[in-house]
Structures are given as structure tokens and as C-alpha cells.
């Protein structure tokens, strides 16, 4: 009977460590905590742990978004510097060849 209880205890410890592992946490530490303090404490400890995997994924996503946004901004800037120039009167971007600003109607010198 006591042997059976021991195996149930071990099994629950294994569950706790597997759960910790799925959260990107140390399986071994979770197992030791569960084994020494009881699987219930182990479950509670793991439940309150931050999910490292999710945090890493969120950080990656944020970085990728920042990179993509930065690239888009750089491309927009390149398009403006290639085909356009700011109107000297209203500062809107107009075509280099334009002699009249399409925004404010001011006459501007055509750039090359």
C-alpha cells in the first residue's frame, strides 16, 4: 500500500515536471520541489511561474514587427527621395517634375 502511494506520488511529481517543461522551465527543479514539498505545492509553484516560452515568443514577435515597420518606413522614405520632393510652400510631397504644387497650387521650379 505504501509502495503504491509512493508511485502515485512519483507520478504526480512527473506530471508537475512535465508541466514545468512545457512552460520552458526546469523540469528537474519542478520535480525536486514537487517531490520534497508535495506535488500539490509543485503544481501551485508551476501555476505561478511565468511562461518563458510565451514571453520569448512575444518578444520575438515584437522585434519582428519593429523590423518590418522600420523597413516599410525606409522604403517609403526611398520612394519620396527618388520621385518626390517637398513643396517649399506647404511641405507636401510633390513630384520632382511638377511646376505647380498639387496641394496648395503654388508655382514651384521643376527640379531635374
Q: What's the rounded Cα separation, in Å, for the pair 92 and 26?
A: 57
Part in contact with Zn ion (CB under 5 A); list of ranges 18-26, 41-49, 51-59, 79-87: 79-87
Q: What's the rounded Cα separation, in Å, for the pair 57 and 50?
A: 13
Comparison of 63 and 96: residue with beta carbon closer to Zn ion: 96
Which positions from 25 to 64 touch Zn ion by CB under 5 A, shown as an x/- string?
----------------------------------------
At 107, is the secondary structure helix, strand, or coil?
Answer: strand
**Contact (CB, 8 A) for 46 and 17:** no
Comparison of 20 and 87: residue with beta carbon closer to Zn ion: 87
By CB under 5 A, how many residues form the interface with Zn ion?
7
Phi, psi for 64 (deg, rounded to 5): -65, -40
Cell 509553484 identifies what position? 45
**Considering the complex, what minimum distance in angstroms separates the CB of residue 55 from Zn ion?**
48
What does the radius of gyration of the chain's CA atoms come to, in whole angstroms?
A: 31
Q: Choose, by CB under 5 A, the member of 57, 89, 95, 96 that binds Zn ion.
A: 89
Residue 104 interacts with Zn ion (CB under 5 A): yes or no = yes
Part in contact with Zn ion (CB under 5 A); list of ranges 2-10, 25-33, 67-75, 86-94: 86-94
Amino acid at each position: 500500500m505504501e509502495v503504491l502511494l509512493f508511485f502515485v506520488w512519483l507520478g504526480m511529481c512527473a506530471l508537475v515536471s512535465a508541466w514545468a517543461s512545457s512552460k520552458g522551465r526546469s523540469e528537474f527543479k519542478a520535480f525536486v520541489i514537487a517531490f520534497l514539498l508535495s506535488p500539490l505545492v509543485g503544481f501551485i509553484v508551476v501555476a505561478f511561474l511565468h511562461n518563458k516560452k510565451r514571453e520569448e515568443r512575444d518578444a520575438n514577435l515584437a522585434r519582428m514587427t519593429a523590423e518590418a515597420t522600420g523597413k516599410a518606413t525606409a522604403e517609403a522614405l526611398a520612394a519620396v527621395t527618388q520621385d518626390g520632393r517637398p513643396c517649399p510652400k506647404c511641405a507636401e510631397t510633390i513630384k520632382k517634375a511638377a511646376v505647380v504644387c498639387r496641394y496648395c497650387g503654388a508655382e514651384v521650379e521643376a527640379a531635374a
